[in-house]
Amino acid sequence: MRLDKFLKLSRLIKRRTVAKDVSEQGRVWINSREAKPSSAVKVGDELAIQFGQKIVTVRVERLTESTRKEDAATMYTLVKEEPYRAEE
């Protein structure tokens, strides 16, 4: 599944166009590698997403082509949240 689609379906990011923009800005990593919107996401991958001044890391638990709002959170497990520190 494409990264931008996963971010939208899991509701980590509300809109696919926003997920695409965030990925293009270099604010999403898959398994510690910078990811593009078209990057493939697989079960077991760890995604790190920079939201403003924090980085949220999640593990992909399942992939579905569509999901209800109530089930979206079951697509991933929160691994950690940490403050973002710009590399100097």
- Predicted confidence (pLDDT) per residue in 6-21, tens digit: 999 999 999 999 999 9
Q: What's the pTM value of the predicted model, to 2 decimals?
A: 0.88
User: Considering the domain boundaries, does residue 88 fall inside one?
Assistant: no
Q: What is the pLDDT of residue 22?
A: 95
CA neighbor of 19 nearest in space, from 6, 29, 32: 6
User: Considering the domain boundaries, does residue 28 fall inside one?
Assistant: yes
CA neighbor of 31 nearest in space, from 48, 43, 19: 48
User: Considering the domain boundaries, does residue 29 fall inside one?
Assistant: yes
pLDDT at residue 49 greater than cutoff 60 = yes
Task: Give the total number of structural domains in the chain.
Answer: 1
User: Residue 68 maps to which CATH number?
Assistant: 3.10.290.10
User: Considering the domain boundaries, does residue 71 fall inside one?
Assistant: yes
Q: Residue 45: how many CA atoms within 13 Å on its side-chain side?
A: 24
Instruction: Tally Cβ neighbours within 10 Å of residue 54.
Output: 11
Distance CA 39, CA 73 (A): 21
Q: In the block, which residue shows the tokens 């599944």?
A: 1
User: Considering the domain boundaries, does residue 56 fall inside one?
Assistant: yes
Reduced to 3 states (helix: H, G, I; strand: E, B; else coil), residue 38 is coil
Range of the domain at 38: 3-83
